[in-house]
Amino acid sequence: MQLDRVTITSETGTVIRAMFNPEKYTVSKSVQYAEIGIPGLDSPVLQFVRGQNERVTMELFFDTTDGGMSDDVDDVRDYTKDLYDLLKVDSETHAPPRSTIVWGDGGQLTSYGSNIPPWMVLESLSEEFTLFNPSGIPLRARVSTTWREAWTIEEQLQETPRHSADRTKLRRVLRGETLSHIAWTMYGDPRQWRAIADANNLDNPRRIAPGQVLNVPPLGPGGTT
């Protein structure tokens, strides 16, 4: 049985198949939060800002010593050059090409839950040559690579449709608050207090108590729920 190899395919049509599969690879992703300091609280409130690109780090090994170590043995750089070229600017897009990384049948290395392998760009590459023939031609190389997720806006929206951020929220009543004040903080318009009253079946809008949790519905066009 032939072992499936890691395959890197660029959007320009270049296909790079690993000479040897990596011993390991690392996938990392993070999100960015902003700290909002509130006087009187023990710790700041965290506000989500945005997601960060997923990164994959992987080391690939290249070796051309099957034919010995004579002067006519292949230079290992002939095999690592295609990877290096992924850092160069493409004349059509004016940016380095994007690529997909797949291991076997659908064995993508990234994006948990994604239906398709994501586009990645090669962010950095480091080559270490470890064996040479008598003429100084390198025959073995370890290539450390870092890849970064590179979806366009359109592709991200198609893969994971975003719903409107204007959705029903829960709001805890603070001491001294009125429905008008809550409407002002949530909608920017104190006159929209009735939408909150209707969503919570409040016959008397003055009868709200500190600690009570209210549903705050989204407003439609024209300020309607």
Q: Which CATH number belongs to the domain containing residue 56 in this structure?
A: 2.40.30.200
**Which residues form the domain of 43?**
6-159
Contact criterion met (CB below 8 Å) for 49 and 85: no
Are residue 212 and residue 135 in the same domain, yes or no?
Answer: no
Domain end (from 107, 132, 159): 159
E runs forming strands in the chain: 6-10, 15-17, 25-28, 31-36, 45-51, 55-63, 99-103, 120-132, 138-149, 169-172, 213-216
Overall domain count for the chain: 2
Domain end (from 136, 159, 182): 159
Are residue 69 and residue 106 in the same domain, yes or no?
Answer: yes
Q: How do the pLDDT tens digits run along the chain, 225 residues long?
A: 456 888 898 888 889 998 999 999 999 999 999 998 888 878 888 888 888 889 999 999 999 998 788 778 899 999 999 999 999 998 888 999 988 888 876 566 765 555 566 789 999 999 999 999 999 999 999 999 999 998 877 666 655 555 444 467 888 788 788 899 899 888 888 889 999 999 999 988 888 888 788 888 888 665 555
Are residue 105 and residue 192 in the same domain, yes or no?
Answer: no
- Domain CATH for 205: 3.10.350.10
According to DSSP, residue 71 is labeled T
In a domain, 1, yes or no: no
Cα distance between residue 113 and residue 74, in whole Å? 41
Q: Would the pTM of this model clear 0.85, i.e. be above it? A: no
In a domain, 164, yes or no: no
Contact criterion met (CB below 8 Å) for 142 and 125: no
